[in-house]
Chains A and B, each alone.
Chain A
Amino acid sequence: MNAFPATLLIFALGAYVAGIAGALLFQRAERLANGIGFGLAAVGGFCGVLACASALATGAVTASQSFELFPSLIPFVRFSIHADALGCFFGMIVSLLGWALSIYSLGYARGYYGRKNVGVFGAGFNLLLLATTLVFLADHALFFLIAWEIMALTAYSLVSFEHEQEETRNAGVLFFVMSHLGTGCLILGFLLLFQASGSYGFDSFHALGNTLPAGRRNVVFLLFLIGFGVKAGMVPLHIWLPAAHPVAPSNVSALMSGVIVKTGIYGLTRVGFDFLGTPPNWWGVTVLTIGTISAVLGVLYALMEHDLKRLLAYHSIENIGIILMGLGAALMFRHSGHPVLASLALIAGLYHTLNHAVFKALLFLGAGAVLHATHTRNMEDMGGLAKRMRWTALFFLVGAVAISALPPLNGFVSEWLTYQSLLQGFGTTTRLIRLMFPLSGAMLALTGALAAACFVKAFGITFLAQPRSNPARHAHEAPFPMLLGQGILTAACVFLGLFPTLFLKLFDPLTQQLTGQQLSQQLTTANGLVLSGGGAQGGTVSTLGITLMLLCLLPVPLGLWLLFARRSRTRIAPTWDCGLRGLTPQMEYTATGFSKPLRMIFKALFRPRREVQREYDFSPYFATTLRFESHVEEVFQTRIYRPLRWLVLRASRRTRALQAGSIQAYLIYIFVTLLALLLFAL
């Protein structure tokens, strides 16, 4: 990589390290620790974005070599980073989010003054950013695993930052256990690769799949799929995500949902495309199926939530599902030998990764601002915040429109690309497997529509109508840094949505490296205004055109307004309440009510359970107190993880008998094993 981006990248990493040191040094002075910690993180993030974006844009990334950060004292480990196209792209995501979230955290951390140690919080945040960036840029398996472990540990410590509540501690432990199960699989996978290639360097792993025997290759793929799948939050392994993200402080959950989850996607892409060469067909089919299931289940469970941050966490699972659909399709195309379609599907998947990182972080920041103001995550106690928190409401609305894949924002663009790749995928093979493409396309449509329903609920119940509790009634707008953080991400959402053709150039080095195709010319027509689905068959869409046309059509209603209704006046009156004594906030629609029809329709999946306790004095018709409780069964928890845990406990209870408590017994065990080994050695 030529001079400018490399030095800037090193400067960014240095800024993070300085941020850690600064935050820890000035722990005592909270305001200073906050300023330095997050300030330096913001500077680091900004430099990171500049470095990676310029490297990708100018194509300098193709000429980059790996270089050692610092000499390694430990044998076998080489702390070397190599900012290739894939690493740079994900580095750009983490830096962009790091920049916006740090600015947001300057305001958010004020909530912790006097309560928690802001210095440690800032240092942890910087360390998390540093570790994640290194994960993306690491060029050596062991260095990758070290960075991965630091990331997991810092994330754990930040997730359980507010460890006073029981719920936080449990979520932290669950996150810890699940992420280390994944890391275990990763280590095995890397060992197998090391065994095949002889060295830990990533460059030696390149296209290793072709040399590996088929059985070994499948095992490696499965190990990496599980390992990275846990971190990405695929459906069977997702249970930690909706537990861990809501309890974390909002800027951390934004970073986790936006970026840490993407390390799983980065891993899968690196292994699937870079390491293991041309994949067999069943890999792509598995990833596509898992993606589809994750998408649909993620959004269905999100709909049932009335905890704002759990809702957003489930949506992370849904969007990861959509990204996996893109990757799965790309893998299938690589198998069937269609590099152009493979690059299109890959671009769709990775573009959605970037988009999801941006709008999910934006939504979490919005949720954080709401939490900051109303001190609750329960949507049933919110309401009417749009009039009290104007800017946060606007930013949350933009995020909601983006995540529901509605034109003209970025969610729509990446889902449109996914549709195009799925549609054109139908023609690639003649075997029955091609039916998967349109069916997963239909499931993607179902997901998109359910996501729209979910975010009408999320935005409507939280921000519109009357406040349903006193904290919501006295809510105040978030401080300026928090708004600035959200503003940056909103601008990113709009910009990514309106000018997709500009960003497709960034993907050229990426697809060149992974699939050997450069698609940005084929995907842009009408001198960069319109995005096309590639080739003659692909349809075209221009979000910029749509927005401009919407503005051009504005005179029609305005003209009608002037023509007919110039003298009409507007009167503010109470909402029509059928002549009763007025609508109280309790009469409004709540999150549970809003999702009731869907809970009834998908009864088989949710198995809803509701209890109504009614206490009354003399006659059952005049209840003194009424308690209503409704639960949606966590199917994965009860059907898979609880029986699994029961088996493990039973097995461990049985082996406890070994612990007889007498020294003789233990000595006998040692002696017997010693003898066995000696005999075996004969």
Chain B
Amino acid sequence: MNLPALVLQLLLLLLLAPLVSGVIKNWKAKLQNRRGPRPWQVYFDLAKFLRKDMVISEHASWVFSFAPYVVFLTALLTGLMVPMVHTPAPLSLYGGVLAVVGLLALGRFFLALGGLDPASAFGGMGSSREMTLSAIAEPALMLAIFTVAITAKSTDLSQIALSTQSATGKLLNPAHVLAFAAMFVVLLAETGRIPVDNPATHLELTMIHEAMLLEYSGRHLAFMEWGASIKQLVLMTLFLNVFFPVGLAGPGAGAGALGLSLLAFLAKLLALSAAVVVVETTNAKLRLFRAPDLLSAAFVLATLALLSTFLFH
């Protein structure tokens, strides 16, 4: 792993993540015919939260203050394992897609514990729902990854990206399309988007992800929000560079190719954000017990994808 690539990707992660969620908020506002907060508003929020004091519940133990750092660091680390601009991700040696899923699960584990710690009913409710829905989403995610890993013959993300990149026909074969659909539904569930969870809600009883953050303040809240946006960026990148590794720079690419690859990556990212915004604007939040039906539909899609890997070629 070369240090400059690592540092560059780290900076890219830190700076790009809030921008992506800011852009999504802004575009959602635009689609609601209002000007909405500027895309870089999220930076201001994060900067303000970092500066503010913190109020910690008297019932909370050390786990409460430990959780934000775990969420933030695991998100960052998964970001370094996913090829964003350069095919062999900086830390691809340290973990493939299974490690990425595992680290995200570790972050979610401590996020849920952080929700439970201050003894508030909302936190408990959020943790319970978050763990439930992510558990239901996991098989679909794993099966989609399995499908792609089987066709690429490896769980190493760089290998997957390379193999889908090389065979151009690969993009249109049914296995990929079905796996892409399943993965998209799981992406919406994991990042807490509209069909499963509403990020902008004020009504605590409908929250899933937000309910766990109700007790956090100051820099803890900043790290939690930042971690969540980095996790969203990581999942989107995983989604993009596994299914559309178009324009991803090869291993030995020069500065020019890297720049081009960065632009391609940003373009793809904006396209995916647009898709997410459209889904969020035109859908209503599903009732909690309808969400598993959506996720089991994703699981069926992933199974079909798996079937079609060897039925059609």
Contacts and interface: CB of A to CB of B under 8 A. Distances in A.
Q: Does A associate with B in a complex?
A: yes
Give the interface size class of chain B. 35 or more
B156 A386 contact: no
Interface stretch (A43-51, A228-236, A271-279, A562-570): A562-570
Interface of A, secondary structure class, is helix
B116 A461 contact: yes
Interface stretch (B18-26, B241-249, B251-259, B301-309): B301-309
Interface in B147-162: 147, 149-150, 153-156, 159
A593 B119 contact: no
22 contacts: A387-B61, A438-B146, A438-B306, A441-B142, A445-B139, A446-B136, A448-B105, A453-B131, A453-B132, A456-B116, A461-B116, A465-B116, A465-B124, A549-B77, A557-B73, A565-B218, A568-B52, A570-B53, A571-B55, A571-B56, A589-B121, A594-B127
Interface stretch (B27-35, B90-98, B193-201, B278-286): B90-98
A538 B142 contact: no
A587 B108 CA distance: 24
Given A539-B97, A542-B95, 12 more contacts: A404-B105, A406-B102, A420-B155, A453-B134, A539-B96, A539-B155, A556-B14, A557-B73, A564-B51, A565-B52, A568-B218, A588-B124
Contacts of A540: 93-96, 156
A658 interface: no
A477 B235 CA distance: 42
B119 A533 contact: no
Interface stretch (A6-14, A152-160, A191-199, A596-604): A596-604
A587 B77 contact: no
B10 interface: yes
Interface stretch (A106-114, A165-173, A572-580): A572-580
B219 A407 contact: no
Contact of A600 (B61, B127, B215, B289): B289
A549 B42 CA distance: 27
B128 interface: yes
Contacts of B223: 557
A557 B109 contact: no
Contacts of B83: none
B283 to A, nearest CB: 21
Nearest to B13: A556
Contacts of A539: 95-98, 149, 154-156, 159
Nearest to B94: A545
B106 A406 contact: yes
B128 A589 contact: yes
B132 A601 contact: yes
B71 to A, nearest CB: 10
A588 B303 CA distance: 39
Interface of A: 383-384, 386-387, 393, 397, 401, 404-407, 412, 416, 419-420, 423, 426-427, 430, 435, 438-439, 441-446, 448-450, 452-453, 455-457, 459-461, 463-466, 526, 530, 533, 536-542, 545-546, 549-550, 553-554, 556-557, 560-561, 563-565, 568-577, 583, 585, 587-589, 593-598, 600-601
A412 B102 contact: yes
B141 interface: yes
B63 A386 contact: yes
B80 interface: yes
Given A564-B219, A571-B53, A456 B94 contact: no
User: In the complex, which of the residues B77, B135, B307 has the most CB atoms of chain A within 10 Å of its own CB atom?
Assistant: B135
Contacts of A563: 50
Contact of A464 (B56, B61, B128, B131): B61
B170 interface: no
Given A556-B76, A568-B52, A596-B128, A601 B289 contact: yes
A419 B142 CA distance: 10
Nearest to B146: A438
A568 B48 CA distance: 11
Interface string B98-138: 11011101101100110011111101110111011011111
B15 interface: no
A405 B102 contact: yes
A500 B302 CA distance: 32
In the complex, the 5 A-B pairs of residues with the closest C-beta atoms, listed nearest first: A589-B124, A539-B96, A539-B155, A445-B142, A453-B131
Contacts of B312: none
B297 interface: no
Nearest to A589: B124
